[in-house]
A and B are shown apart, each in its own frame.
Chain A
């Protein structure tokens, strides 16, 4: 069973390695992520968000909806940890 599972594992690895060749080089100014919204963030980020730290400006302002999702995920994950790991000590009969 372990050997069988190696086959999809290696196939997936081969696909990933082959696809990595198509990635743009690091720091390429013409790559898709560097041409869409990044120039606006870099040029107007400080005056629009009032944040000297661009990372916070993007995370907490431009993409705060994304950060709201992250916070909710962390909240739910912590809740799940507490409910699952702590169920024994709270004396829950059903598991």
Chain B
């Protein structure tokens, strides 16, 4: 995005809201086991935060992800998912069988840890993809 909608008021408001949106996104990802939420929903919330910063401050602002980094995040998310799935066969279970993970917890808790790991992977993928699509649309508009 070559231009930004930035004004002092928008800038201050987005700086105030950004940490809370990120925190809520992480909460939705990690608490998906016990309340409505999960990787897809949490990833969307985190991506909304990234896009908010992009809208207010433009591409140059602060900690913004570059499209290449977002691409890497996307692929890393799928990689985490497949990697956790492959831990099952390595430790003598089935593919995506979290019960085979060598953790000294109760059976249900081990599975919960495995699920949390793949939810984090899903959240990374969703965040990366939405950032990527936003950037692609903005670039296509700027040049077309």
Contact = CB atoms under 8 A, between A and B. Distances in A.
Interface of A: 46-53, 55-57, 59-61, 64-65, 67-68, 71-72, 74-75, 77-79, 81-82, 84-86, 88-89
A48 B129 CA distance: 32
A47 B112 CA distance: 10
Mostly, the B contact residues are helix
A52 B119 CA distance: 15
A78 B139 contact: no
A88 B144 CA distance: 8
Interface in B53-84: 67, 71, 74-75, 77-78, 81-82
A84 B67 CA distance: 14
B129 A56 contact: no
B77 A75 contact: yes
B78 A78 contact: no
Interface of B: 32-39, 67, 71, 74-75, 77-78, 81-82, 85, 95-96, 98, 106-112, 114-115, 118-119, 121-122, 125-126, 128-130, 132-133, 135-137, 139-140, 142-144
Given A49-B112, A51-B33, A78-B129, A60 B118 contact: yes
B139 A86 contact: yes
Nearest to B94: A65
Contacts of A49: 108, 111-112, 115
A65 B142 CA distance: 39
5 closest residue pairs by CB, A with B:
A78-B129, A50-B108, A50-B112, A85-B136, A60-B115
Given A61-B111, A89-B142, A53 B32 contact: yes
Contacts of B137: 85
Contacts of A78: 74, 128-130, 132-133
Contact of A89 (B74, B110, B140): B140
A57 B128 CA distance: 24
B33 A56 contact: yes
Contacts of B81: 67-68, 71
A60 B125 contact: no
Given A64-B96, A78-B128, A81-B133, A51 B140 contact: no
A89 B143 contact: yes
B35 to A, nearest CB: 6
